[in-house]
Structure 1
Amino acid sequence: MPVIDSRFSVLSEDFANDPYRFFAALREYAPVHHEPAIDSYFVSRYQDVKQVLTEHELFSTEMLTVRAEPVMRGRVLAQMTGAEHTAKRKIVVRAFTGPALRDQIHAIRANAAELIEPFLSRGRLDLVNDFGKPFGVHVTLDVLGLDKEDWQQIAVWHGGVAEFITSVVLTPERRRHCLDCAEQLEAYLVPVIEQRRRNPGHDLISRLCTAEFDGIAMSNRDVTALIINVLVAATEPADKTLALLFKHLVDHPEQMEQVRRDPDLLTAAIAETLRYTPPVQLIPRQVEKDVTVAGTTIAAGAVVFCMIGAANRDPDAFDAPDTFDIHRPDLGTARSFTAAAQHLAFGTGLHQCVGAAFARAEIETVAAMLLPLLDQVRHAPGSRYRETGLYTRGPAALPLEFTPVTGGVGCA
């Protein structure tokens, strides 16, 4: 286990290559690590992370004014509090639960079938780039009611927005690129918003356009910000979670076989994937008044990053935390996609991810479709596994081989 010394940096190449190597040392020797280059603190112990995420008056989301609002083109849900937060969160939640969620499952299946079809007879695909990334965007566009023919351009704009939000350090050139992407995405959305105001449908954009807060309809800017909020939140983790799930099951063939024999175990496998390798690794908060965390005093105004990956592998929260185990008794599969989740992959507290139920349905539905199709699935020979990302993290690619399927999806 590496020992944390004064030269350690979460911005280093070593950490970027494999942050999991450093988590135990961080929790033991530097549970509140200060990063001088960005004058921010990184908190790694489970209980400390939970404190930061649940004590909302002490640790606020004020930094999102700088970290998110410029590319979201307005305030996002995580910046809101009180009645405004409750009302607008409820509008978004309704689009991802109940009857709306049942309708979306049909869209999830249709998108998955269309995207996987060309690869079945070949017996090989890159689960990230050939399938996962386009799948995540397609499904989210269906939820929003946007034209999927524009998905590649929207994906480029979305990529710029996501880069701005998830970059801890951003060069002036990349910052300009991200802002340009956000401006072009906003210009694309405004005519859609105006059309939905005149002729609303059953999609999320229509619901946002016709909703009111305190008796006042939301402005185009309000609606734009919430659309981009949903686009990033629903798309960014989807391909990562799916690829990580398959990666872990391929690496643990006995657990893969158990999931194949008992499909009810799939939910547990997804929950354990979220704990073991959460796609969202960092959640930022701003300190509102001087506070002491794990013996370290943090001054008001400082930014604190909650290290979700480190917290989810804290032995004080989970037994044998560095082991992937879909049968672990301390995870609580039934509550893993609710506000009572033991893992912190969706955050916790007031600003816990609104799409947890949707994430479960999306990954569960597509994985249940793919598992029977990808028979004898294995890593492609010669492929080298690599993960990327500090804020959000997942495989750069996941080349797989499997027994070719003849006759298409319908024969499975």
Structure 2
Amino acid sequence: MADPRFSILSEEFAAAPDRHFGWLREHAPVHYEPAIDSWFLSRYRDVHRVLTDHEAFTTETLQVRAEPVMRGPVLAQMTGAEHTAKRKIVVRAFTGQELQEQVRTIRANAVELLEPLLAGGRMDLVNDFGKPFAVRVTLDVLGLDRRDWRQVSSWLAGVGEFVTAIELTDDRRRVCLDLARELEAYLVPVVEERRRHPGADLISALCTAGFDGITMSTRDVIALIINVLVAAVEPADRTLGLLFKHLIDHPEQLAQVRRDPALLSAAIAETLRRTPPVQLIPRLAERDAEFAGTVVPAGATVFCMIGAANRDPEAFTDPDTFDLHRPDLGTARSFTAAAQHLAFGTGLHQCVGAAFARAEIETVAALLLPLLDRVRYSPGFVYRETGLYTRGPSALSLDFTPVHAATLHATTRHTNTRHTTPGRAAPSTTPPWAPVHG
């Protein structure tokens, strides 16, 4: 039954979802929203059950939520041999030696973007740096021209809106579909050229890989490219902003990470647990299912509330507290299929980019931390988060001691030496990261 006292679609919930997580878990763990005919689960055990029972809860909702703008089926829609084969192609591009190469790409992009920002002693970490950085790095990995990042960002905004919107007007739906078609038109000649002249990039790998002895069609390749773009770009800037917010809000833990950079991975893992950038993962109930005494009917759309599940006291002690020394999280497993938190999803369709996400955020944060001396919020800055499906800071304006270019490059040489140590920034783990998991 719908609870008339509460709506996930309300402005009150949108302003601060975490304030309602405890009430939901205790009083409405199976919450129904009649306006969108969907069910929302907030308890850890229920969310974990849905994400790991692939026969009872399928990804068929993505045929409507994702396929129209992905221009074809995405990884999370696939099963069996097709899913295994195509997932391996993508995973291979984000692990091992390939990931080591990407760390150099990540660092080079970060330095280029940071150089003009650091001298003034103030920057918006999300909009001045995080967003352009995430797009440019992903374009480099795919083998696309990073000079097109602004246009690609515009197209991806439409794709992301279509996938993550809980409600979408007809007008916005048309706009999003038009943007997706423009992105497809941009990618088609690239894919055709890589078929003729493959290189060392991910698009070339997709173009030359086969499934059941048959090379993937242009439509299949483009769908996977857009899948990677959406999965890699949107959460990255949000996670970076959230990480620095938590550390600034907890100066004693910021000081500890500065003294011992080995704690940085734990800080990232705890950021993902407490404030996962992907807040909702949808599934379709294939048959009637009971949760907490409530029956969710067959054919219903079920939203797994990742943010609420990650703060369930049945799964984590004192879950609302940010604690990078948390004993019930486990940094080593937090970026693998054995992760206790659910920020990357779990089960068959756990995100394929967790190893890349770790390397990306850890590399940039390790570069920034020694540079942002006396870092604090800019005067007059008011922190605000936005989004229901994916969520993060709309901005993060920071003041710090101005940095000279020579200091930036000296720091880069230092972090380059430290992060190319085997196993540090490029763990060979099974790899989200994404609104659309694989």
**TM-score, normalisation: structure 2:** 0.93
Cα deviation digits, residues 340-388 of structure 1 (max 9, x gap)? 0000000000000000011000000000001111111101111000000
2:168 corresponds in structure 1 to 170
2:336 corresponds in structure 1 to 338
Q: Does 1:262 align with 2:260?
A: yes
For residue 106 of structure 1, report the CA deviation from its aligned partner: 0.3
The DSSP-based 3-state class of the residue aligned with 2:327 is coil
2:269 corresponds in structure 1 to 271
* TM alignment of 1:74-153, pairs within 5 A: 74-153=72-151
The DSSP-based 3-state class of the residue aligned with 2:295 is strand
User: How far apart are the structure 1 equivalents of 2:8 and 2:142?
Assistant: 36
User: How far apart are the structure 1 equivalents of 2:18 and 2:69?
Assistant: 30
Cα deviation digits, residues 118-169 of structure 1 (max 9, x gap)? 1111000000000000000011001100001111000000110000000010
- Paired residues in the alignment total 409
> Does the 8 Å contact 2:115/2:405 carry over to 1?
no
* TM alignment of 1:8-407, pairs within 5 A: 8-407=6-405
Please give the root-mean-square deviation of Cα atoms over the aligned residues, in Å.
0.8
Which amino acid in 1 is paired with 2:237? D
User: How far apart are the structure 2 equivalents of 1:7 and 1:324?
Assistant: 30
User: How far apart are the structure 2 equivalents of 1:236 and 1:84?
Assistant: 26
The DSSP-based 3-state class of the residue aligned with 1:372 is coil
Which amino acid in 2 is paired with 1:96? F
User: How far apart are the structure 1 equivalents of 2:404 and 2:359?
Assistant: 28
User: How far apart are the structure 1 equivalents of 2:205 and 2:116?
Assistant: 35
Unpaired stretches in structure 2, ≥5 consecutive residues? 412-438
User: How far apart are the structure 2 equivalents of 1:331 and 1:66?
Assistant: 35
User: How far apart are the structure 2 equivalents of 1:279 and 1:169?
Assistant: 19
For residue 407 of structure 1, report the CA deviation from its aligned partner: 2.8
User: How far apart are the structure 2 equivalents of 1:234 and 1:300?
Assistant: 32
User: How far apart are the structure 2 equivalents of 1:182 and 1:5?
Assistant: 37
Task: Please say which of residues 402-411 and 262-271 is displaced more in the overlay.
Answer: 402-411
Which amino acid in 1 is paired with 2:294? T
Which amino acid in 2 is paired with 1:126? D
Cα deviation digits, residues 292-347 of structure 1 (max 9, x gap)? 11211111110000000000000000000000000010001110000000000000
> Does the 8 Å contact 2:277/2:392 carry over to 1?
yes
Cα deviation digits, residues 140-199 of structure 1 (max 9, x gap)? 001100001111000000110000000010011111110001000000000000000000
Which amino acid in 1 is paired with 2:79? T
Which amino acid in 1 is paired with 2:35? A
What percent identity do the matched residue pairs reach? Answer: 74
For residue 411 of structure 1, report the CA deviation from its aligned partner: 3.5
User: How far apart are the structure 2 equivalents of 1:411 and 1:332?
Assistant: 33
User: How far apart are the structure 2 equivalents of 1:330 and 1:12?
Assistant: 33
User: How far apart are the structure 1 equivalents of 2:405 and 2:169?
Assistant: 49
User: How far apart are the structure 2 equivalents of 1:205 and 1:237?
Assistant: 21
User: How far apart are the structure 2 equivalents of 1:233 and 1:254?
Assistant: 33
> Does the 8 Å contact 2:71/2:222 carry over to 1?
yes
User: How far apart are the structure 2 equivalents of 1:100 and 1:307?
Assistant: 33
Which amino acid in 2 is paired with 1:185? L
The DSSP-based 3-state class of the residue aligned with 2:369 is helix
